[in-house]
Amino acid sequence: MICGGLDIGGTKIEATLFDPDLAPLDRRRLPTPRDSADAFFDAVADQVGWLRGRAGGDLPVGIATTGMVEPDTGLAQTANLPISGEHMADRLTASVGRPLPVMNDSMALAFSEANGGAAEGATAAVGLILGTGVAAGYCVDGAPAPRFGGIAVEIGHSGMPARALARHGLGLWPCGCGREGCIEAYVAGPGLPRIADHLGLGRIDAPDLCARAAGGEPGAERAMAIWADLAAEALEVLQLTIDPQVVVLGGGLSQMPGIVDRLTAALPPRLMAGTPMPTLQLAHFGDASGVRGAALLARRIQTGDLPWTP
């Protein structure tokens, strides 16, 4: 069955049309309206209309988005889109004619990779987004795990362990959520320049820091090692609470050269004795994995393979 997905972030709404084998056929990107909910839902309707036009009729369409939709109320909660407090099913019905299944982007990554991707066959799989922020999703036996309140595995807004900060002489850095000391403040993309600055190297962006570390610069390598050690603390939190077999890495930082080897080496010293080591993998479907997961969700709902309540 042909299907479509929308990948919604703070800067773009990208629509992708998939063939029956979930191979992408075409895609279209629009800027995300940030000024009003009405403009936002108009842009969503525009993209759904484009998908229907390319498909020659209606088709299953799913949405992968930053933030979440509360299962009990159906209300959106997000920091980067103008739709917090909006009832998603009602607004989507008004704009596109019917409600569409909405999935947190990290859950969509996990779902995609657990079905034909890097976590295929894993009983428990986590999709970990390392980008502008840090978030994770969780699938059990290839299906999204039910969660009270609809929240994904918000590891990024758990506290970085004090032992890790003490090891590296780091303070409680502010996080975009308004609190201090969150894992995201250290491990997300902006955390790398902060670590470099802490070491006296200046605020070097991630690509430059990686290049300088690869070129043998000791200070840059030290910054990368500290980042990997802090990321390993986050991975241990996942392992102690969820115990996944596979952790699939997505997001911009997952494209850093050698990241899987670096984190695979950094994690064992951080794990509590007897804690199993997960397999770390890059997302098989790359940047398109989340929107693929949303399209797959819509198709599974259409065929009755997954329950869904708008």
d(CA 191, CA 28): 31
Cα 6 to chain centroid distance, Å, stands at 14
Q: Residue 143 forms beta bridges with which residues?
A: 140
Under 8 Å between Cβ of 164 and 233: yes
Tens digit of each residue's pLDDT (9 = 90 or more) over 174-231? 998 889 999 999 999 999 999 999 999 999 999 999 999 999 999 999 999 999 999 9
- Report which of residues 79 and 166 the model is more confident about: 166
- Across the chain, where does the E strand assignment appear? 3-8, 12-18, 24-31, 61-65, 68-69, 76-77, 102-104, 124-130, 134-140, 143-144, 246-250, 279-282
- 124-130 and 134-140 strand pairing: antiparallel
Determine the Cα angle at 281 with ends 275 and 287, to 5°.
135
Q: List the structure tokens of 259.
A: 């990241």
Is pLDDT at 78 greater than 90 in this prediction?
no
Rounded to two decimals, the pTM is 0.93
Tens digit of each residue's pLDDT (9 = 90 or more) over 13-26? 999 999 999 999 99
